[in-house]
A and B are shown apart, each in its own frame.
Chain A
Amino acid sequence: MADKLRAQQQLESLQARYIGTGSADTTKFEWTSNIARDSLTSYLGHPPMLQYISIGLGQSREKTRIQLLERMIQPVGPPPEPKE
């Protein structure tokens, strides 16, 4: 019981620091949102990657950057309706 509680607390503190971490209860929506955001962050964070995508899309890097940033809002669409 106490062990379980501690594990729970550890997980919570981990989650507080790294939002992308999950647990056995993570839903598909949460996980896909996280990996989508992580991917977008990675494209943004590596300038050569951003450059490459921008060239491919034929627009300025800044424009691509804004686009990517905006896609981080609900990257995989709205959350599913809560089931009752």
Chain B
Amino acid sequence: MPGPRSGKKYSARDDAGGSSKAALTEAFDKNLYDGGGTDKYAGYDLTIPAGDNDDEMDDEGALNGRKLVGQYTATSAQIDEFARGDTAEDDILMSREKQAQIASRETEYQQRRFDRRLSPDGADQNGAKSYKDAMKEREFEREEARVHKVIEQRERDGGDMVLDHQPTLKDGETVSGDKTPPMEEKPRKNKRRWDDNATGEGPAQAGAEDVDMKDPPAKKRTRWLADDATPAAATPEAATPGADSDADKPARSRWDTTVRPTAGPVAPQDGAEGTSSAVAAFPFGVDNRNAPLSDEQLDAMFPIEGYKILEPPPGYEPRPRPVGGQMLPAGYQGYLVPEADSSLAVMGKQLPTDIPGVGDLQFFKTEDMKYFGKLTDGADENDMNVEELKERKIMRLLLKVKNGTPPMRKTALRHITDNARQFGAAALFNQILPLLMERTLEDQERHLLVKVIDRVLYKLDDLVRPFVHKILVVIEPLLIDQDYYARVEGREIISNLAKAAGLAHMISTMRPDLDHQDEYVRNTTARAFAVVASALGIPAMVPFLQAVCRSKKSWSARHTGVKIVQQIPILMGCAILPYLKGLVECVADSLNDENNKVRMAAALALAALAEAATPYGIESFDPILNPLWTGARRQRGKNLACFLKAIGYIVPLMDEEYSNYYTGQIMEIVIREFQSPDEEMKKVVLKVVSQCSGTIGVTGVYLRDSVNAEFFRNFWVRRMALDKRNYRLVIDTTVDLAKKSGVSEVVGRIVGNMKDETEAYRKMTVETIDKIISILGVHDVDTRLEERLIDGVLVAFQEQSIEDPIVIDGFATVVNALGERTKTYLPQIVEVVLARLNNRSATVRQQAADLISRITFVMQKCDEDPQLVRLGQALYEYLGEEYPEVLGSILGALRAIVTVVGLHAFQPPIKDLLPRLTPILRNRHEKVQENTIDLVGRIADRGADLVDPREWMRICFELLEMLKAHKKGIRRAANNTFGYIAKAIGPQDVLATLLHNLRVQERQSRVCTAVAIGIVAETCAPFTVLPGLMNEYRVPELNVQNGVLKSLSFMFEYIGDMAKDYIYAVTPLLEDALIDRDQVHRQTAAAVVKHMALGCVGLDCEDAMLHLLNLLWPNLFETSPHVIDRIVEAIEGVRNAIGAPLVMNYVWAGLFHPARKVRHPYWRLYNDAYVQSADAMVPAYPDVEDEACRRHELDVFI
């Protein structure tokens, strides 16, 4: 046990035992070497807190639990706020690449997935272990964990110190846990610790486990040499020129072979020189500690007897070293200047992006080399056997899927899917699954690999059986991922897996994990089981679940069983209703389990079941009501929280009588727990109160008498407003209470808080009152409360320092709910608002203006028009405001006033107001633009005659600028305003302005102008616009002509069947456009034809339409997608206007044309016609010469 802890322990012993002996390993001179009686780190934190529970140790330095100096720092919650959770800020030091990795985002708990082994020992390459083996292994792991725990416990107790040489040898008394055992008892003290306990376990564990746990030690030099004949010697090292002298040089240990580069940067060691002597040559650079251990050293370190150097397992090959990897080469001798021709490995060769046989990849990471390195070794594929070829093939495809470009991925994925059965499950999964366990995996890669598994599963079907466990090990972690889509993906895979492998196989595979000693494994297994249940149906699982939940053998199996029951409703929702009884029975007994955790899980499972079943299924819960309620009386702390949670969810299912009774039974405990300092408990209690108060059986009288007082005393305190989650919950619960116990009762209790000095608390109160009043109204609020309410809300409004809509919303809700009852308070409110409009702070002015726009409606209802006009005048004065946010609010307030008082009553008169607005239209701020255009539009709509036409023209010019706005709403409002203005002052001038604007460069502006022309044409009748518009088409400029066509298109779209009067007028223009050289011209003309044709269906314009169709038809062979789409749409429009048979006459000609390029568009038209008007085509079907095809029915003649 290294580190400061061990040092501390020794010194502690010195003090406690008062031993006079000096330990050999410790410095005697304590003063000099800091070994003295006191730990020099005493009083310091020795660890950096990593978890969430670091607030337990801040009591240090406190006297009687009270700090002597005030704490002038933020709370730990505030400090941590940006460290994790949703608000966490990205660490800028972490590179982007790193952030993309899944592992870097995971919590410590989620990272425990790396602790699971993919291929458990003893499993052969092609298949899983037998059920028996798996169970045995789990048993063994549990035992191991237990022994670890015992040892840890002993070390903590400080009894196992071998250093302390008490003559226990002669004691002869029995050894208890805290004494050092006599030497005879532990003859092999260097042995693996759990070997001592293994005597009863049989040889099973002496096998595979040892391989990875125990250091293979050295015994004799000769044996190391003998080892060189093993495959390790076949590494490139052996192939170097010095290889023949291998036998007489001091052999390097086997460890070195793996890290030795394929072509080393340093000259090969000369045979006689060992590692240590090589190091000695560079005394300044590398010190001995960093040099690899030589065999002599290993020999010296390990005893000769009792050890044996293990053979590497068959099939073991040293891992291929990644190119450019970071490991030190074997004979590292410090930095040498690389020679010019030295290998790529040192020169930091770029990772390849082009793997032979794969093509260009999007990227290639260092880690990929580990899996795909084989592809770059340049081996000749001609002398490989089928298996190797297959392996390489799969490797290539996987690499393409993982790192390739989208089209590459698609073909590779398809290839893997199609050939899945030929490749075989083993070959595929042995490559895919290790990739998914890679630590540096990124979201995209994981998604793609999971997709591969999904596709492959479908194809392999029951062939996957041997791999079920391995796949589960890899996929289960997805079920607890933060990312929703990852969870969905995981569920899908597991459910497909379950369908492919069958229930029996799934159960026998997952059963051993149910009582796995690692909680992480149990948790994920439970979730996976729930997915299996949803895939194969709950009824099939219930008997198994019942058995697991009643397992006598271990509490962990019961715990997992109950957890499965909890997960099923979370996953399936109300689909559990038919099986509710069975599921409840599974967990019923566990409520009284002897183990704490099982009881908690059972209560949580019941809560989940009840939540999913709401509002049905109370009869299924009958058997557990009694245990639950009596249990709740016995439990404390976290257990109680779980029980209360379950109760909270079950109460809403009950009928009136029962819920009344059961709520009464439990409320006592809930009220007691109001005072609990535990956050979790607070949350649960709040939830239970809101659930109980929502049931019919709980009356308002009851709540008023026995709950409210305690509730408000405990939860309506300032502290609650500071914690975001509690804040929400308290508000919701209070609103629920108000629904039952009445507005005046609840609002009366909290109304005073609006004058509190804490802003957050005021805000919380206002929000609560806002919610209560907007749901329940103010009918039972008496005059006194009304006064307090207005008073409080005014104070909250005035004291507000942070910009937040909550207070204004609350104000508006209260005032609007009070309606005419507000009249008495209005003068006061108006005074406050006026004073604040004049405030120095911009925020205050903005809030005042915002408030005006919310209360104008009520003011009008209270006949306070003079006051409104007064406000309007004041706002008019402030139109020179420089802050755009404030200006936007002021304009919004003006608009609100104009809306209620009307244009004629408004002061100052509109003809004075509008000229002030014209320059503001030029403001680029979105909020200002939106509000001005709205106000101007309203004036143009209702009172255009109040303003001079010349002013309107000026506004028209400004409006053109607005067509460039980014926000669609603004552009739309501007377009509509064009329509209003044109209506007011006649279309001529407006049209001239707009037509002129068609010549500008920006596309968006031109499009909007075209729309505006369409709108003007619609509002002022087309005949006022068309002549000018068509005249404009004569301008020999592409943009203008296009703009005209676009305007026509919008116009015909807007005017609908009015179009029939103008068709013959525009046909020559369209003729010209449809035979223009420019594609876009034809495209836009086609759009015009479409709208025109759809406008005149059945209005007797067939001749013109047929004419246009003739011009459209040759465009059928356009290939640009936009063009062809418009053309086809136009033809469809014409088909509607002139009927399917006429158009079909054109279509028949090309359906069986020898050229595919011709057939293709013709079939497209045929299909469109078939979908839209199949019946109308029947009479038009051509006569086929063939006798068999004749339609004799048509020959019938009467």
Contacts and interface: CB of A to CB of B under 8 A. Distances in A.
B1196 A39 contact: no
A38 B1177 contact: yes
Given A24-B1156, A52-B1196, A57-B1196, 18 more contacts: A2-B407, A14-B1171, A20-B1170, A21-B1171, A22-B1167, A24-B1159, A26-B1163, A32-B1188, A32-B1189, A35-B1181, A36-B1191, A38-B1174, A38-B1177, A39-B1181, A39-B1191, A40-B1193, A56-B1198, A76-B1186
25 contacts: A1-B407, A18-B1167, A18-B1174, A21-B1166, A21-B1167, A22-B1151, A22-B1166, A24-B1156, A24-B1163, A28-B1152, A31-B1151, A32-B1184, A32-B1188, A35-B1181, A38-B1174, A38-B1178, A39-B1181, A39-B1191, A42-B1175, A43-B1193, A52-B1196, A52-B1198, A53-B1196, A57-B1196, A76-B1188
Given A22-B1163, A39-B1178, A56 B1189 contact: no
Nearest to A26: B1163
B1022 to A, nearest CB: 38
B138 interface: no
The 5 closest A-B pairs by CB, nearest first: A56-B1196, A24-B1159, A42-B1178, A21-B1167, A77-B1188
Interface string B329-371: 0000000000000000000000000000000000000000000
B1190 to A, nearest CB: 9
Interface in A3-34: 14, 18, 20-24, 26, 28, 31-32
B1197 interface: yes
B1008 to A, nearest CB: 31
A50 B231 CA distance: 88
B1148 to A, nearest CB: 11
Given A38-B1178, A55-B1198, A76-B1189, A18 B1171 contact: yes
Interface string B64-96: 000000000000000000000000000000000
Contacts of A45: 1175
Nearest to B1156: A24
Nearest to B1155: A24
Contacts of A57: 1196
| Candidate in A21, A43, A45 with the most chain B CB atoms within 10 angstroms | A21
B1184 to A, nearest CB: 6
How many of chain B's residues touch chain A, expressed as a range? Answer: 20 to 34
Contacts of B1167: 14, 18, 21-22
Contacts of A68: 1193
B1171 A53 contact: no
SS of B interface (majority): helix
A2 B1156 CA distance: 20
Interface in B1159-1189: 1159-1160, 1163, 1166-1167, 1170-1171, 1174-1175, 1177-1178, 1181, 1184, 1186, 1188-1189
A21 B1170 contact: yes
Given A22-B1163, A24-B1163, A39-B1191, A56 B1197 contact: yes
A15 to B, nearest CB: 9
Nearest to B1180: A35
Contacts of B1177: 38
B1159 to A, nearest CB: 4
A56 B407 CA distance: 61
Nearest to A17: B1171
Interface in A42-82: 42-43, 45, 52-53, 55-57, 68, 76-77
Interface of B: 406-407, 410, 1151-1152, 1156, 1159-1160, 1163, 1166-1167, 1170-1171, 1174-1175, 1177-1178, 1181, 1184, 1186, 1188-1189, 1191, 1193, 1196-1198
A31 B1148 CA distance: 12
Nearest to A35: B1181
A interface bracket (residues with beta carbon within 8 Å of B): 20 to 34
Contacts of A2: 406-407, 410
B1171 A24 contact: no
Contacts of A20: 1170, 1174
Q: Max chain A CB contacts within 10 Å: which of B1163, B1175, B1193?
A: B1193
A46 to B, nearest CB: 8
A31 B1152 CA distance: 10
Contacts of A18: 1167, 1170-1171, 1174
A22 B1160 CA distance: 10
Contacts of B1196: 52-53, 56-57
A18 B1168 CA distance: 11
Nearest to A54: B1196
A32 B1198 contact: no
Nearest to A77: B1188
Nearest to A46: B1175
A58 to B, nearest CB: 10
In this complex, which of B1174, B1178, B1184, B1186 has the most chain A Cβ atoms within 10 angstroms of its Cβ? Answer: B1178
Given A18-B1171, A20-B1174, A42-B1175, A36 B1156 contact: no
B1160 A32 contact: no
Contacts of A1: 407
Interface centre among A18, A24, A56 (most CB of B within 10 A): A24
Contact of A32 (B407, B410, B1178, B1186): B1186
Contacts of B410: 2
A63 to B, nearest CB: 14
A22 B1152 CA distance: 11
Contacts of A23: 1160, 1163
A64 to B, nearest CB: 9
B354 to A, nearest CB: 21
A36 B1189 contact: yes
A9 to B, nearest CB: 13
A39 B1197 CA distance: 17
Contacts of B1191: 36, 39
B444 to A, nearest CB: 18
A18 B1178 CA distance: 15
Contacts of A31: 1151
A43 B1167 CA distance: 21
A36 B1163 CA distance: 18
A17 to B, nearest CB: 8
Contacts of B1163: 22-24, 26
A76 B1185 CA distance: 12
Nearest to B1166: A22
Contacts of B1181: 35, 38-39
Nearest to B1198: A56
User: Which of B1159, B1170, B1171 neighbours the largest number of chain A CB atoms within 10 Å of its CB?
Assistant: B1170
A76 B1198 CA distance: 26
A28 B1159 CA distance: 13
A62 to B, nearest CB: 16
B472 to A, nearest CB: 33
Contacts of B1189: 32, 36, 76
Nearest to A36: B1189
Nearest to B1162: A24
B85 to A, nearest CB: 40
Contacts of A14: 1167, 1171
A79 B1184 CA distance: 16
A14 B1174 CA distance: 14
Contacts of B1151: 22, 31
A68 B1174 CA distance: 19
A81 to B, nearest CB: 15
A70 B407 CA distance: 49
Contacts of B1175: 42, 45
Contacts of A40: 1193
A62 B1189 CA distance: 24
B400 to A, nearest CB: 15
Contacts of B407: 1-2
A44 to B, nearest CB: 10
A68 B1193 CA distance: 9
A43 B1170 CA distance: 17
A17 B677 CA distance: 63
A77 B1184 CA distance: 14
